[in-house]
Chains A and B, each alone.
Chain A
Amino acid sequence: MIAHADLIALATTLKLASISTLVLLLLCTPVAWWLANTRWRYKHIIEAIVALPLVLPPTVLGFYLLLWFSPQSAVGSFYQQLTGSTLAFSFTGLVIGSVIYSLPFVLQPLQNTFSAIGRRPLEAAATLGASPLDSFFSVVVPLAKPGFITASALGFAHTLGEFGVVLMIGGNIPGETRVASIAIYDHVESLQYANAHSLALVLLGVSFLLLVFVYANNRSVLVSKA
């Protein structure tokens, strides 16, 4: 059915999506919280920057990343000094690319959820003696659970479908940077339609199930609020 090489590509894809989603949750939670609560007058500039991956062609994103990752650039040479390897054409480089590429898909649901919760539950918690950190974990996180679920599912699904950025910065190293979307492209190029079919079907199925999960989750949010 699915060739061994393709299974490895699928495993790489799942690994990439899982790690990227985890990094995104850690990164986006404080940023989304800040964006939802700040009264800073220039916050729209930050909002525009984090929304850029929504509209930029993945090739543009990939091109800039490729420049940064090169050992001639400050970022690339710093990483090389630190680890002895290059960022370009590495799994770590792919994770960085995916995190940037899927950022708005995690950030925006979280920001919307935090805005909807508002400051009142935190104020109530503060008057009951809960410190800001305590009330964040005891009140905001449980209230924002549906938002975290939506954000994770969207971030994961979006990373599964990543193609352009990977092509620019990851290349096609089996077991390292060869993800499912690249493998499909290769199969089509070499007219192996059957292999392309089975991989495409897996991605279609997984993405569909994730979106069903997201919408069912959103519906339960709506129902529980009514």
Chain B
Amino acid sequence: MSLSADINLAQRGFAQRFVVDEIHQGVTALFGPSGCGKTSVLRAIAGLDRHHDSRVQFSSQWWQRDSAFTPAHLRRVGYVFQEASLFEHLTVVENLSYASKRRQENSSGLESAEIIDLLGIETLLEQPCATLSGGQRQRVAIARTLCARPKLMLMDEPLSALDNDAKRRIFPTLQLVCQQANMPILYVTHSLDEVARLADYLIVMKQGAVTDVGSANELLTNLMSPLSQQANAAAVLSGVVAEHDDAFSLMRISTDAGDILVHQDASLAVGDAIKLKLSANDISIALNAEHASSILNSLPSKITDIHQEGESQVLVKLNANGAPLLARITRKSCHKLGLHIGQTVFVQIKSVAIL
């Protein structure tokens, strides 16, 4: 299952084309500033809008090519809109069954009961949609989309209409959905935090065209990409819980870059896969490992790039056993330690966030 698209966004006032090849299973974030054409791309892929001189292919099927155009209801594309867009005349459970009644015969995917459990909406089932909060509405909308058993899921900034509190509560659920949905997911966002937490792959858009495509972590730590120059630049590491240290309330996470100790989270068991976010501002650099320090996590790494930021800071890109990391330090420290590309150093990680 893979998606390819070549969409002419001239009607949206962009002179450029949006071209991507082979979007596979997993979460691909479509990232860019507001008004860069992200939603237009999603709507074209879903078949809700038709742009001339465009092509969309999913696996071996052409959804759009030359004058051929498969209408939206035959594409089996799940679409989570920015506003939940529930059917207001139906209750929550009726919204779900609207979708499951129309799923394709011999489709495979989660059962409705599993979906209700996954989204945590058991208690809402009999309620009319008008009584739901913003976060609840979006949960129901995601559940409804899954109930239709789509082949591909498109999410258009599903969290942007929610307040921070609702966002924080829905996030773990969204991560679970992304893990368990056995299909390619295209996730539109302009939040780096959402990219870091959810995305496996990243497509960066500007003015209707694709400027960067690649693995999310590779792009987040690429010093030439505008992403790493943001104040909240960070690297993301995938890891597995290797051990709980009950005596000190810590756990050891085994990652590509090496073992990292983090605060204990009782809800995680040994063997669980998690993602860690290492903010560039929370990483410092030492020349040797024996440096006495209160910092627990110290990993050998090689400097691969140094980029000056403003007058006083530099952003250093490092490679820790194959995993890219970012460190933001002062230009003075960089000069004092004599850092240069190719040098082997030790990164000291002050804090780690579990995503």
How many interface residues does chain B have, given as a range?
A: 20 to 34
Contact residues in B for A121 (Cβ distance below 8 Å): 85, 87-88
Smallest CB gap from A129: residue in B: B102
Query: Which applies to chain B's interface (DSSP): helix, strand, loop or mixed?
Result: loop
Taking a contact as CB atoms under 8 Å apart, the answer to whether A127 and B78 are in contact is yes
Q: Which of the segments B68-76, B216-224, B302-310, B336-344 contacts the partner chain?
A: B68-76
A119 CA / B89 CA spacing, docked (Å): 16
| Residues of B57-87 contacting chain A, CB below 8 A | 71-73, 76-79, 81, 83, 85-87
Contact residues in B for A126 (Cβ distance below 8 Å): 47-48, 71-73
How many interface residues does chain A have, given as a range?
A: 20 to 34
A131 CA / B103 CA spacing, docked (Å): 12
Contact residues in A for B46 (Cβ distance below 8 Å): 127
Contact residues in B for A139 (Cβ distance below 8 Å): 87, 89
A1 CA / B73 CA spacing, docked (Å): 61
A142 CA / B103 CA spacing, docked (Å): 22
CB distance from B104 to the nearest CB of A (A): 7
B98 at the interface (CB under 8 A from A): yes
Taking a contact as CB atoms under 8 Å apart, the answer to whether A123 and B89 are in contact is no
Contact with B along A94-136 (1 / 0, CB 8 A): 0000000000000000000000000011011111111110110
| Residues of B272-292 contacting chain A, CB below 8 A | none
Taking a contact as CB atoms under 8 Å apart, the answer to whether B81 and A124 are in contact is yes
A134 CA / B103 CA spacing, docked (Å): 14
CB distance from B276 to the nearest CB of A (A): 35
Taking a contact as CB atoms under 8 Å apart, the answer to whether A129 and B104 are in contact is yes
Contact residues in A for B144 (Cβ distance below 8 Å): 128
A130 CA / B103 CA spacing, docked (Å): 9
Smallest CB gap from B86: residue in A: A124
Taking a contact as CB atoms under 8 Å apart, the answer to whether A128 and B99 are in contact is yes
CB distance from B149 to the nearest CB of A (A): 9
Contact residues in B for A145 (Cβ distance below 8 Å): 89
Which of B73, B79, B150 touches A132 (beta carbons < 8 Å)?
Answer: B73
A123 CA / B150 CA spacing, docked (Å): 15
Contact with B along A211-226 (1 / 0, CB 8 A): 0000000000000100
Smallest CB gap from A139: residue in B: B87
Taking a contact as CB atoms under 8 Å apart, the answer to whether B87 and A124 are in contact is yes
B237 at the interface (CB under 8 A from A): no
A143 CA / B129 CA spacing, docked (Å): 13
Which of A120, A123, A128, A142 touches B102 (beta carbons < 8 Å)?
Answer: A128
| Residues of B91-143 contacting chain A, CB below 8 A | 98-99, 102-104, 130
Taking a contact as CB atoms under 8 Å apart, the answer to whether B73 and A131 are in contact is yes
Which of B73, B79, B81 touches A130 (beta carbons < 8 Å)?
Answer: B73
Contact residues in A for B81 (Cβ distance below 8 Å): 120, 123-124
Taking a contact as CB atoms under 8 Å apart, the answer to whether A143 and B102 are in contact is no
Which of A127, A138, A224 touches B79 (beta carbons < 8 Å)?
Answer: A127
Smallest CB gap from B77: residue in A: A127
CB distance from A30 to the nearest CB of B (A): 19
Taking a contact as CB atoms under 8 Å apart, the answer to whether B48 and A128 are in contact is no
With A123-B48, A224-B130 known as contacts, the answer to whether A128 contacts B85 (CB < 8 A) is no
A120 CA / B72 CA spacing, docked (Å): 13
Taking a contact as CB atoms under 8 Å apart, the answer to whether B76 and A129 are in contact is yes
A142 CA / B91 CA spacing, docked (Å): 13
B145 at the interface (CB under 8 A from A): yes
Contact residues in A for B88 (Cβ distance below 8 Å): 121, 143
Contact with A along B263-278 (1 / 0, CB 8 A): 0000000000000000
CB distance from A171 to the nearest CB of B (A): 46
Contact residues in B for A138 (Cβ distance below 8 Å): 98
Contact with B along A140-158 (1 / 0, CB 8 A): 0011010000000000000
B320 at the interface (CB under 8 A from A): no
Taking a contact as CB atoms under 8 Å apart, the answer to whether B79 and A124 are in contact is yes
Smallest CB gap from A117: residue in B: B88
A68 CA / B97 CA spacing, docked (Å): 52
Taking a contact as CB atoms under 8 Å apart, the answer to whether B102 and A130 are in contact is yes
With A120-B81, A138-B98 known as contacts, the answer to whether A127 contacts B87 (CB < 8 A) is no
Contact residues in A for B77 (Cβ distance below 8 Å): 127
Contact residues in B for A127 (Cβ distance below 8 Å): 46, 48, 72-73, 77-79, 145, 148, 150
Instruction: Please give the residue numbers on chain A whose beta carbons come within 8 Å of chain B beta carbons, in ascending order.
Output: 120-121, 123-132, 134-135, 138-139, 142-143, 145, 224
Instruction: Please give the residue numbers on chain B whose beta carbons come within 8 Å of chain A beta carbons, in ascending order.
Output: 46-48, 71-73, 76-79, 81, 83, 85-89, 98-99, 102-104, 130, 144-145, 148, 150
A-B residue pairs, 5 tightest by C-beta: A129-B102, A126-B72, A127-B79, A142-B89, A126-B73
Q: What are 23 residue pairs bridging A and B, where the CB atoms are less than 8 Å apart in the complex?
A: A120-B81, A121-B85, A123-B81, A124-B86, A126-B47, A126-B48, A126-B72, A126-B73, A127-B48, A127-B73, A127-B148, A127-B150, A128-B98, A128-B145, A129-B99, A130-B98, A130-B102, A134-B73, A135-B73, A138-B98, A139-B87, A143-B87, A143-B89
